[in-house]
A and B are shown apart, each in its own frame.
Chain A
Amino acid sequence: MKLEEIDQLPAGPELDALIAEKVMGFKVTNLNGVPYTEWDGPDPKELPEYSAEIAAAWIVVDKLHLFKGRRSGDTEWGLCLQQNDRDEWVIKHRYGMDIVRAETAPLAICRAALKTVMVNQS
């Protein structure tokens, strides 16, 4: 997946599964088309709605603090989340360059997280 394609990802189970796998490090399993994380109890464990709920998205924010001190090019995780005058949520890193824009804060966080992970892995 290219970085530009991440900007087009909508909120929903597919993006939640990507976050679970690529950012949170879970193994994701599909059951009848529904993604679940691996579980060791009797019931499958549904994915948090990272891309739709701010509390779940903040788990991603906290996870990415593990990227402290890692740099690749201009991408260093240091969250600046702001709402612009077009009602978009924008995430910038410490050097001022936009990382992502999205219609909600959770979606912006998820897109930024995916980009951050991809850049750090490349």
Chain B
Amino acid sequence: MESQKLTPEQIDQLAAGPDLDALIAEKVIGLEVSEFDGQKRVLDLDPVYAPDTKVYKFPERYSTEIAAAWLVVEKLKPLRLHLIDRSDYEAGKTYWHAYMLDTKGEGVPDGHGITPALAICRAAFKTVIGGKE
């Protein structure tokens, strides 16, 4: 996936899962990503069993697990997360909106998703590859 060519609208269509996790690992977290047998892996910066060799592992599940998504929030500091639950529970629809403010209180690109983790990842990805809107 050529992330530099993605528009904000295309980022809003990225599905949660390994591909988006790998993009976040590379573009937001700054990890080295390689592909093995069609699957993206990230360089393990602290390999326990083979400290002198390059070890690759699956990326964190940034787009599906809130604890991993929080690593993205931490990485983007001093940007300040705003995360809003805009779900319509009567209609049975969950909908989260994430955006960040910079140190001047100005907004940077936002993201939406059916989970907070996905909304955070989309917002973060737009922020790092797109700059300010």
Question: A: which residues have CB within 8 A of B?
Answer: 53-55, 58, 65, 68-69, 78-85, 105
Contacts and interface: CB of A to CB of B under 8 A. Distances in A.
A25 B66 CA distance: 23
Contacts, number: 40
A85 B80 contact: yes
Interface in B34-92: 65-67, 70, 80-85, 87, 89-90
B105 interface: yes
Nearest to A91: B83
Nearest to A64: B85
Contact of A80 (B65, B67, B82): B82
Interface size class of B (residues with CB under 8 A): 10 to 19
B85 A55 contact: no
A53 B65 CA distance: 13
Contact of A84 (B80, B84, B116): B80
A58 B73 CA distance: 15
Contacts of A53: 67
Given A65-B89, A69-B89, A82 B83 contact: yes
A52 to B, nearest CB: 12
Contacts of A79: 83-85
